[in-house]
Amino acid sequence: MSPAPAEASPSERLRSRLVLVVDDDDLVRRVVRAVLECDDMEVVEATDGEAALALARSSQPAVVLLDVMMPGIDGVEVCRRLDHERVKVVVLTAGDHPDLEARCREAGADAFVVKPFASGDLLDLVAGLLSR
């Protein structure tokens, strides 16, 4: 008989529901936060790539929702710099360049969502990534 799995510590449980939302558009961040918090997810926010990388290191989210077109470091480069063994990345973008999804996937993105998006679909996607 295999041993019972160890119970997660409070900080591990929090991290397992923590999502970093990165977008320079305040309205998008507020909408995404509201959607995720309806399912008891914890949310931290960043408005640019530099802040996203710093928050990813300090808060260690389980999932990052990442815009591509931002001032400074763009989302593709942020994605490339994240530790993909520790975090799942969903690119949320209004960009419709033909090769953008391929570039994001090459950089390590787990999913690619074009704005505008359906709130329920986004919630299902993030919940699915959190359960992995």
- Domain limits at 34? 13-131
- Pairing of the two strands 42-46 and 18-22: parallel
What CA–CA distance (Å, rounded) separates 51 from 49? 5
Per-residue pLDDT at 14: 47
Q: Let me know if residue 92 belongs to a domain.
A: yes
Q: Do residues 89 and 79 make contact, with C-beta atoms less than 8 angstroms apart?
A: yes
Check pLDDT > 90 for residue 19. Answer: yes
Per-residue pLDDT at 80: 98
Q: Let me know if residue 5 belongs to a domain.
A: no
Q: What is the pLDDT of residues 75-109, one digit of tens each?
A: 999 999 999 999 999 999 997 778 999 999 999 99
Q: Let me know if residue 61 belongs to a domain.
A: yes
Q: Rounded mean pLDDT of 47-61?
A: 97
What is the DSSP-derived secondary structure letter of residue 85?
T
Q: Let me know if residue 2 belongs to a domain.
A: no
Q: Rounded mean pLDDT of 60-82?
A: 96
What CA–CA distance (Å, rounded) separates 32 from 54? 20
Per-residue pLDDT at 120: 96
Count of the separate structural domains present in the chain? 1
